[in-house]
Chains A and B, each alone.
Chain A
Amino acid sequence: MTTATTQAPRLPAVLDVFVTALHDGWVVTKRNLIKIKRIPDLLIFSTIQPIMFVLLFAYVFGGAIQVPGVNYREYLMPGIFVQTVAFGSALTAVGLADDLQKGIVDRFRALPMSRAAVLVGRTTSDLLNNVLVTVVMSLTGLLVGWRIHTGFWPGFAGYLLLFLFGYAMSWISAVIGLSVRSVEIAQSAGFIWLFPVTFLSNAFVAIDTMPSWLQPVANWNPISAVVLALRDLWGNAPEGLARGTGYPADHPVQLSLIWCALILVAFIPLAIARYRRSASR
């Protein structure tokens, strides 16, 4: 059907695809956000969890390890942020599996809309959810004594990096959500791999306390890169603290950006290909 939007001078095809993806993606994002508005419990639980994490880690682990000259509670905070955002991105898998199971994806796939829109919409609404969770976490962190010591711009850059990482992780999660057959499986498959990934990192312990064969894994782990980058950007990594070795220790921000780019480049096309082939029945 010819409509007002297609009567405008034709955009170059690639741009057209992109603009349609953004338009349709935004329509789907709004749909996902309405769900959060209609089911406030979702919001309550997704904010309780980060508050709980900050308090548990601050008071249980924070006091357990004494490092001379280091505020361990403050050192832990970037790790909790990154872990929470990574787990938050697992919601993408659950949301997509739910839409597949309910036949909504079929409805979308029979519409002349962008093939990327359902994924763009889902990852965007999950990003916004992560932003909100991060705000709550930051406020809780401030209450228990965590501070950004560097200034507005580095602090802001840290948040941007955190959100970019969460967004990239959402696309991995999208591939998982489109590959499993039900919400229940998505609920475990989406989260389970995150445990080793987040714990095999510098988020909660110094890498040099790990067995030597594990150290390179933890050193190059994207979670470690982002955590270390945040510690640097926010001034939460005191002098003399073990940072790992080599390139990851020297250029954590750069390495984080490279990781995010690699994840996005690999998983966006994979997720879109999965979406095209996905059939709920």
Chain B
Amino acid sequence: MADAVVAEGLSKRYGSVWALDGLDLAVPEGSVLGLLGPNGAGKTTTVRILATLLRPDHGRAWVSGIDVAKEPQQVRRRIGLSGQYAAVDENLTGYENLEMIGRLYHIGKGQARERANELLERFELTDAATRPVKTYSGGMRRRLDLAGALITSPPVIFLDEPTTGLDLRSRMGMWDIINERARAGSTLLLTTQYLEEADRLADDIVVLDRGRAIAHGTPDELKLQIGGERLEVVLENRNEAEIVAQMLSEVGGESTVDSEAHRVVVQVTGTAAGTLAEAVRHLDKAGIEPVDIGIRKPSLDDVFLRLTGQAAA
């Protein structure tokens, strides 16, 4: 399958800092690429270059085979962009925002109105459609901003940290919408600071650090590389921790003991719930009551610790 988005050796310098330092990307048509990284890794810079907002110092990029720097206007017809800070007009209503964006994509007045109403309904904003956006919650603004990117059902969609700062419920709502777009065949490139989000949404993940790709793979490949979910048990004392570590080596994979914190960490090999239940049974049988026990998902920090030996900046 052809690649909808390609970047070769993208570099961008701000002063003496390389925001991007020779980044290569390829997003196959109809797939979702997650750009994962901490603040300052170069995620937003990448999106801004691909969306024609910024020119790279070196390197080239193509969207649907069109050179981003040479024919930006052609690229703009084929992309939708939803940014980190919801760029909707506070003084316009939700409907007016979407209709205006449709008109500026030149899809005609009638179609702009039709699409605006369709998207407001799909994004559960119909009740708020005639209210100025300044009365919207953060989650509603993000949904409206995303709707703006989808007005023309563009083949390629860039989402820059679509859920940063949202509460869990709004975040899950956004995930549904994004997954729906992906199933509809759009090519998506999204940036995120959350491993969980990349895992849920992306077919492929590129981990960025200081403007470079430091890892690339499917979510499963990456999780294998960094270790997936793990069981953590905190005990009363060091002695108990040693015993439990021994005991739980049968429950999961590799186990490690932090003797200072009396904490035992076991890699989950089966299902998380099964592992947890079995661990509890073992502890019960031995008559040991843990201070804390639970399943921990790897965080961005874990990814970085594994890949770079340093915590995320």
Interface residues in A, total, Cβ within 8 A: 29
* Binding-face segment, A76-84, A109-117, A175-183, A258-266: A109-117
The distance from the CB of B155 to the nearest CB of chain A, in whole angstroms, is 9
A110–B52 CB distance below 8 A: yes
Chain B residues with CB below 8 A from A102, complex form: 85, 87, 90
Chain B residues with CB below 8 A from A3, complex form: 106-108, 111
> Which A residues lie at the B interface, using CB under 8 A?
1, 3-6, 20, 23-24, 27, 30-31, 34-35, 38-39, 102-104, 106-113, 117, 279, 281
A1–B83 CB distance below 8 A: no
Q: How far is the CA of A35 from the CA of B90 in the complex (A)?
A: 9
The distance from the CB of B147 to the nearest CB of chain A, in whole angstroms, is 12
B104–A113 CB distance below 8 A: yes
Tell whether B199 is near chain A: CB-to-CB under 8 Å. Answer: no
- Name which residue of chain A comes closest to B76, CB basis: A112
* Binding-face segment, B95-103, B237-245, B268-276, B291-299: B95-103
Chain B residues with CB below 8 A from A38, complex form: 91, 132
B100–A31 CB distance below 8 A: yes
Interface of A is mostly: helix
A110–B76 CB distance below 8 A: yes
B105–A104 CB distance below 8 A: no
Query: Beyond A111-B104, A111-B105, A113-B104, is A1–B89 a contact (Cβ under 8 Å)?
Result: no
User: 10 A-B contacts, Cβ less than 8 Å apart?
Assistant: A1-B154, A23-B106, A30-B100, A31-B100, A35-B89, A39-B91, A106-B87, A107-B88, A110-B81, A111-B76
B104–A110 CB distance below 8 A: no
Chain B residues with CB below 8 A from A27, complex form: 100, 103-104
Tell whether B148 is near chain A: CB-to-CB under 8 Å. Answer: yes
B78–A1 CB distance below 8 A: yes
The distance from the CB of A32 to the nearest CB of chain B, in whole angstroms, is 9
A5–B108 CB distance below 8 A: yes
